[in-house]
A = this chain, B = another copy of it.
């Protein structure tokens, strides 16, 4: 890239963009909405800015301090992101807790207490009956002074549905009216934005506010969705907000994306209480350009966020998430078989979910269904509430469900899932309870879990993708945890009743605590989450941080790998990539391998038989010629050649900057008229004596456009686009310009090669 040009695109726009200009151009170096950024150029601009500050800092102490502040601003942004993301996550957790309970009743001593807080502060509660205290009143008790019986049940049922509908309606209305971008999980769009695409407003302040509020509403409404994905979006909005405060980040789209990558890490950090997992998630799943500096800063942001959340302590257990667990028994080699089976289940669930959800979303996009988003949300909420209420495993919030499923049955556990028949002769420490036969509670819990599993599977497919904030980490984990717990209880009972079988004989003697059903639930959750998102390392590390021990990493890994392989066998795309494709975002995936044998010449435009490439010549076109060319085409830029005959490339001019430059020149520079010659050379061309004053545009010319030869294999071209983050690349043969390949051409070609509809790539 021409250093002059780099200089021109300077952050403060103080703009020696054109020789004749004394006023800055506010728009220089920015991009239009729905356009792709040029990473190399952004990087160049930042280096230039940095160079300027460094050289200035030697001039005076004030400049030196300014340069120090500039160097520190990255850390300050990270600190602020961590603080805000942690605080928002804490507030969301508290609000969800309260509003979820509001569907069932209210605390009389203080209406802002949730059920648990209400009874916690009450003195009349015993440990065995933690959930019951006089201060907490169900609606039926409050309204008709009756807490038992069929009519009370129906009243509570009805009010539960009403509250749910009310929350959901409020949420979808807020989203529709104030911030349409607040819907969905946001991760597909964030991946696209981080890969260098501009979607203005997607990470704006309104989106932040509305997404936070509606997230609380939809999670409280009992819909089958989670807050984890949207929390990443919320954290990225925080990142975008704080980066707009520092010109280093606000004026450079490349640097801004470094901040956003770190913000995504902070989001996952607070969503799962897993700072290292968050950084790896950002690295593996969402980020595109992730230099080492960003790794370190992401880690910092993730830690600050986690500590902020911990100091808010929303769950009162000094843990960051509801479903933190500790197990006391090891796992045995023979258990790998059910773990791998759970992996297979997770892979199949992932495939089923992605296929059905995408089909449903496509239907919504293409048919009249999509015209009634509010009605859709109301209907799904009503169905969810009606079916969910009677079943205790679907009535409660999904994270509580997961927490109960992950839990190991201790001696004091009152859950139905822990209703085992105790051997009265056994006296053992509470933590180390041997396997026992299941009681009637466990059997009825199994039935309810099976029904809940089927319901969750079906309803989640229809829920994800509605016009409300919705994450699918939690529903996926719930599906896996339910399946896992059932398998776990099955294996446990099998081992108890048949400990003479060969497979159990070695490790499961009578009286031993050999099977932990909670661990199966956790493995199942990991498998299902892996099947849907295709995360690998970050998934295992997140789960590792939930259990806090290396001990269980092998089962988790076995399940995650199996699930990924099974799901990959049916289709390579995870849910986020599938949604990116569905929406036609121009996303060049780092993970896709391009293995076809095509060459640059097969992809470049113009194709054979098409009109020749629109080019500018270096010193023979008039202002009018250039304006006509701009008007007649919609290309984002034009190669500049020596002459139409020789077609030897000398540079590349951006459409946006050509328009700005000509407009400014016509307004301010004397003698520039329609038939002035435009020249890109160092010196003006020799003109006849009476010709009008020529217009010099060398300053906006990029003298180092990226070129490849027509024989370059496309796999190399794809690699270059990916690694250097190019917008376009010119194709030459022995120095002669032949054509151009844009990022869109590359994506279209890749879609074509994968037998997809190449026209689905929408934006440039």
Contact = CB atoms under 8 A, between A and B. Distances in A.
Interface of A: 1-3, 6, 40, 43-44, 47, 50-51, 54, 275-276, 279, 283-284, 291-292, 295-296, 299-300, 303, 306-307, 536-537, 540-541, 544-545, 548-550, 553-554, 557, 590-591, 593-595, 597, 599-600, 642, 648-650, 703-705, 707-709, 711-713, 715-716, 719-720, 723-724, 732-736
A536 B713 contact: no
Contact of A1 (B44, B642, B713): B713
Contact of A537 (B296, B544, B648): B296
Contact of A47 (B708, B715, B720): B715
A468 to B, nearest CB: 32
Contact of A299 (B1, B540, B708): B540
Nearest to A597: B3
Contacts of A705: 709
A600 B733 CA distance: 21
A724 B735 contact: no
Nearest to A48: B597
Q: Identify the 3 closest CB pairs spanning chains A and B, nearest first.
A: A735-B735, A703-B711, A704-B712
A295 B538 CA distance: 10
B548 A549 contact: yes
A550 B283 CA distance: 21
Protomer copies: 2
Given A40-B716, A716-B704, A47 B295 contact: no
A611 B434 CA distance: 86
A206 to B, nearest CB: 34
Given A47-B595, A548-B549, A713 B3 contact: yes
A397 to B, nearest CB: 25
B713 A6 contact: yes
Given A51-B597, A295-B284, A275 B715 contact: no
B306 A550 contact: yes
Given A284-B292, A703-B711, A704-B708, 9 more contacts: A3-B713, A6-B713, A43-B715, A47-B715, A279-B537, A292-B591, A303-B557, A703-B712, A705-B709
B711 A704 contact: yes
Contact of A296 (B279, B536, B590): B536
B591 A537 contact: no
A303 B553 contact: yes
A307 B649 contact: no
Contacts of A3: 597, 599, 711, 713
Given A306-B550, A734-B735, A595 B2 contact: no
Contacts of A51: 595, 597
Contacts of A299: 536-537, 540, 557
B295 A1 contact: no
A716 B553 CA distance: 42
8 contacts: A47-B595, A276-B541, A306-B550, A650-B733, A703-B711, A704-B711, A704-B713, A720-B724
Nearest to A6: B713
A526 to B, nearest CB: 14
Given A50-B595, A649-B734, A712 B1 contact: yes
A189 to B, nearest CB: 21
Given A40-B716, A723-B724, A650 B734 contact: yes
Interface hub of A279, A544, A550 (most chain B Cβ within 10 A): A550
Given A554-B303, A649-B735, A712-B1, A719 B292 contact: no
B734 A295 contact: no
Contacts of A713: 1-3, 6, 44, 704
B593 A47 contact: yes
Contact of A292 (B291, B590, B715, B720): B590
Contacts of A708: 704
Nearest to A600: B704
A734 B648 contact: yes
Nearest to A273: B550
A597 B599 CA distance: 35
B300 A557 contact: yes
A709 B715 contact: no
Given A284-B292, A295-B284, A276 B47 contact: no
Contacts of A537: 279, 295-296, 299
A707 B707 contact: yes
Nearest to A40: B716
A47 B597 CA distance: 9
A286 B363 CA distance: 49
Nearest to A541: B276
Nearest to A701: B711
A139 B723 CA distance: 63
Contacts of A557: 299-300, 303
A9 to B, nearest CB: 13
A705 B595 CA distance: 20
A554 to B, nearest CB: 7
A281 to B, nearest CB: 12
A538 to B, nearest CB: 9
Contacts of A276: 276, 541, 544
A331 to B, nearest CB: 12
Contacts of A291: 590
A291 B723 CA distance: 11
A595 B292 CA distance: 17
Nearest to A709: B704
Nearest to A545: B550
A752 B138 CA distance: 78
A554 B296 contact: no
B307 A554 contact: yes
Contacts of A720: 724
A307 B306 CA distance: 29
A291 B283 CA distance: 11
A688 B299 CA distance: 72
A65 to B, nearest CB: 16
Nearest to A591: B292
A44 B712 CA distance: 11
A595 B536 CA distance: 37
A648 B292 contact: no
Contacts of A732: 735
Contacts of A307: 554
A482 to B, nearest CB: 27
Contacts of A549: 548
A50 B713 CA distance: 15
B711 A550 contact: no
Nearest to A293: B591
A252 to B, nearest CB: 15
Nearest to A714: B3
A691 to B, nearest CB: 25
A306 B549 CA distance: 13
